[in-house]
């Protein structure tokens, strides 16, 4: 991890256009704009920036400092590994919360560094208390309730067990929060289920309070729920995809636009993915291009080889299907996407030369390739495509 941080610092000194075969640009102004927008509509609650999945592909080490400078003081991750990365770049006052997996031998480190974490079964609570006793610090926990998601969470029986353990170990536990996860708030098809979850959450919360346990914060809203179900906002919102400029679903976007009378999308995309032309070749009619017989040149073709392939997250299903931008014009991906290369048809684009910029996601002149266009061709949702962008691709802040 330290080596990755050193490498990222070195990249800032590199002439990007001369040295990198592919890179991801993070638009600082767009990201800060999105955070200000979220603050304007979620005025009465704290916002936790969800940076799991390498900050949805945007880069933990890049996003966390930007968010902190914009006044965000809460961060949520899924795993211990992600928590280590956030901890290495966050300021000492920022709150960090692990929503998922913690290895049994890592509770001491987590507690020692004042990182809070979800408890979704009594056994993990016992492990945390043992670790707390060893490091002589209280474990900061969030009780995750099973309200109908049926994934992780304390059902009524295990919640009572957890409360009993907490009451017997008051000197070793802080209840930082009571939370749950909603099962598909981005779709109206789940409306009845979400309503039932809200009822279950409030019922279990009353059960906790009646037994003398007072949590510091209540939270249940993800990005979609915060938009579509205002009652779920509580004390804290776990905001993921919205901060990066994407709506959880088209339904969520429409719901917002109608409620707030917006006619223009208030979010700005933060991420652009770029490469460069590696090689140019002319292919005569009657020849096949790239592996096998996937593409037959029925006429003379001029092609550009781009040094990006499925190893970099450019899905193989985009063979003969994808699009890139070169000189601001759309160039079709032809032939099979290789492990490390793709081929673009530039027959209609003049004066292309090796080293010219290629946009895989983002804007170039008057044309845009959106993440949603990848979804149309690959069946990947935007969450999946973004988080599958390899961490090895350099992320560079664009001011």
The DSSP line for 219-274 is: EEE-HHHHHH-GGG-TTEEEE-GGGGT--S-HHHHHHHHHHHT-SS------EEEE
Active-site residue among 170, 195, 259, 291? 291
Active site residue 29: no
Contact 114, 94 (CB under 8 A): no
Active site residue 363: no
pLDDT tens string 90-133: 999 999 999 999 999 999 999 999 999 999 999 999 999 999 99
**Is this prediction's pTM over 0.85?**
yes
Give 302's strand partners.
Answer: 282
d(CA 250, CA 396): 29
Q: Quick one: pLDDT at residue 10?
A: 47
d(CA 258, CA 143): 35
Q: Quick one: pLDDT at residue 257?
A: 87
Give 276's strand partners.
Answer: 357
DSSP H stretches of helix in 169-236? 191-210, 223-228
Active-site residue among 52, 90, 138, 176? 52
DSSP, res 73: -
Give 324's strand partners.
Answer: 331
Contact 276, 288 (CB under 8 A): no
Cα radius of gyration rounded to whole Å, the chain = 24
Q: Quick one: pLDDT at residue 15?
A: 52
pLDDT tens string 136-163: 999 999 999 999 999 999 999 999 999 9
Q: Quick one: pLDDT at residue 258?
A: 84
Q: Quick one: pLDDT at residue 18?
A: 61
Give 174's strand partners.
Answer: 140
Low-confidence ranges of the chain (pLDDT < 70): 1-18, 375-380
Q: Return the structure tokens found at 395.
A: 């992320």
Give exposure, 85-117, as e/b (b: 16+ Cβ within 10 Å). Answer: bbbebbeeebbbbbbbebeeebbbbbbeeebbb
Q: Quick one: pLDDT at residue 380?
A: 64
Could you give the domains of the chain? 28-260 (3.20.20.10), 271-369 (2.40.37.10)
> Which residues are part of a known binding site for substrate?
151, 339
> Which residues are part of a known binding site?
151, 339
């Amino acid at each position: 991890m330290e080596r990755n941080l050193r490498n990222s610092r070195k990249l800032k000194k590199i002439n990007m256009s001369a040295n990198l075969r592919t890179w991801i640009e993070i638009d600082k102004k767009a990201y800060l704009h999105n955070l200000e927008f979220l603050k304007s509509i979620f005025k009465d609650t704290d916002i936790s920036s969800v940076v799991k999945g390498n900050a949805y592909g945007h880069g933990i080490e890049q996003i966390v400092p930007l968010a902190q400078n914009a006044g965000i003081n809460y961060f949520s991750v899924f795993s211990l590994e992600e928590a280590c990365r956030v901890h290495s770049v966050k300021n000492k006052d920022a709150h960090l919360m692990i929503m998922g997996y913690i290895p049994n031998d890592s509770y001491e480190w987590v507690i020692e560094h004042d990182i809070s974490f979800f408890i979704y079964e009594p056994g993990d609570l016992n492990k945390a208390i043992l670790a707390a006793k060893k490091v002589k610090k209280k474990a900061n926990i969030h009780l995750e309730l099973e309200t109908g998601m049926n994934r992780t969470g304390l059902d009524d029986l295990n919640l009572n067990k957890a409360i009993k353990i907490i009451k017997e170990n008051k000197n070793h536990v802080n209840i930082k929060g009571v939370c749950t996860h909603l099962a598909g708030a981005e779709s109206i098809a789940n409306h009845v289920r979400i309503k039932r979850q809200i009822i279950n959450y409030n019922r279990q919360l009353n059960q906790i309070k009646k037994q003398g346990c007072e949590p510091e914060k209540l939270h249940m809203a993800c990005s979609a729920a915060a938009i579509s179900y205002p009652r779920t906002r509580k004390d804290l919102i776990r905001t993921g995809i919205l901060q990066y400029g994407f709506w959880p679903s088209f339904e969520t976007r429409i719901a917002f636009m109608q409620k707030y009378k917006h006619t223009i999308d208030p979010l700005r995309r933060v991420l652009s993915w770029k490469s460069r032309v590696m090689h140019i070749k002319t292919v005569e009619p009657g020849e096949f291009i790239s592996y096998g017989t996937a593409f037959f040149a029925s006429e003379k073709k001029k092609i550009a080889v781009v040094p990006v392939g499925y190893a970099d997250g450019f899905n193989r299903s985009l063979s003969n299907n994808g699009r890139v931008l070169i000189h601001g014009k759309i160039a079709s991906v032809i032939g099979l996407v290789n492990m490390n290369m793709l081929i673009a048809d530039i027959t209609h684009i003049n004066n292309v030369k090796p080293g010219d910029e290629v946009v895989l996601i983002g804007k170039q002149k008057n044309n845009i390739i959106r993440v949603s266009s990848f979804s149309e061709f690959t069946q990947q949702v935007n969450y999946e495509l973004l988080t599958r962008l390899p961490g090895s691709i350099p992320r560079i802040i664009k001011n």
